[in-house]
Structure 1
Amino acid sequence: MSTHKATWHGGMYNPVESRFAPIQAVVAGSVLHAVGWAHGQTLAAPDEGTGVAMTYFGDGASSQGDVHEAMNFAAVMKAPVVFFIQNNGWAISVPTERQVAGGSVAARAAGYGIPALQVDGNDVVAVYEATRSAFAHCRNGNGPVVIEAMTYRRGPHSTADDPGRYRTLEEERLDAGEDPLERFKQRLLADGVADEAFFADAQRKAEEEAEVIRMGIQDLGPRPGAEMFSLVFQEPTPALQSQATAWREESEHV
């Protein structure tokens, strides 16, 4: 949330300790990062157990050239990485069948010699089991795995998107299916793993945490604009220094 408000440029948490890479908004950009990190695992300590990278991206992002390069490199180098495609049926305004040849991202994996799984993305247990199986495959030195979770995007892609231009509310209602959280809740209730009191408590805690985050974001002050130039390179280039000077003259009248 701090990133979206442009009040954080990195450093809020330690990626090594948290096991979460920093957020970046480039479409399919994280796929390359994941493969690079995974390949690094095989070089750093090949005899001490292999860490596994996992990268999430959508069906639209899967058509980026970076994804094909990443999958090919990962397969050739047997990098321990799981490519997890969240196929929600829409690449913003373009349906999957119009931008994914064959209608399945998982089918592409065969071209790289990568095993693939296609699961019901609205089934929490199915997704968990597929992921656990993929991680075991990677840890055993067998290279990457592709998982395609079939789901549906409810509502617009972003605040700038108007889904009414390319699908109707009736289509969304019929195609979205059952909410995965409600579906999982009913399974846990049926199996006797949790009761209504558990879910009521979880809902209360979630609302409290959301309010803490909301208030925290509202209290964040703006970052100094000049900071954007100091976080690009370790050693500023002449061109960057020139841009920084021009920006200060125009915005800060320095």
Structure 2
Amino acid sequence: MKENHQEWICGPLVEGSGAAVASVTAVSPASAYAVRVQAFGPAGSSDYSQELIIYTTPAEVLWFRLDDRSGYNKDSLELSEDRRTVCSQAPLGIVAQLAERPCPTGTFLPVDHIVGDFAITRGRHAWVVDVDPSSCVVRVGVVNATKLPDWFSTSRQLSSPRFEQDSGHDSGSEEVETAQPSLLITIARGRLFLPRGQTVSAAGSTNMATEALPLPRRLTVCLDHDEGWVAFYNSDGTPSCFCRRLVDCSGPVYPAFGMLGGGKLRIHPLDLG
């Protein structure tokens, strides 16, 4: 194994025949590694395999499950036994409404929220989410603990699920970004909708417009609690940052998810190999 075109490092030796699994733990976040394999046996050693490039997450992987207690709507959401996957049951009326036309900003629709069972209070952490591309509306992001009563204790009515922190102004260049108590991006009909603000494109340029992008197979969320920001990455192939936003980290912050209509998402078990 070698990192960023440095010298090769000997990885773990795996004994036995047939399928074999090896774990490599001495890796750095936000790095690219080239991996190759060689077999040994009574007849000698084989040639090295072709190199496989592996990219690590932008921060330490956070271990958590979905919380089935605080505000979890059992009538609309269904959790898997390991609490790593959640499915949303779609009311027919909402499905028909969203299928007929996109949800305009400012409308009110019921969004079922669910959070992770681990509160982040310091450091930088990342987690990877798989979203079923056929999902109606799925939201992925983070929420400050102070926002949870608004989500779970009062009403399930939220403004348009595309923009949680819309300032109401059309001219983004004159706006000053402020830290939000919750920040989620929206996935709908196989598209990913980014909120207003400094958006990082695949080419590395930035703009202030709202973008709709193809949904990646895996989406990485990275929260830096110490610096007060959350970033979203495309984890297909070479990682690239979609956008980074300020978020209120004055208290505990939870991984957060919202679902409207039928859909499915899974916390990818990177920590399980």
The normalised TM-score by structure 2 is: 0.23
Q: Indicate the structure with greater helix content.
A: 1
Higher relative contact order (CA 8 A, sep 6+): 2
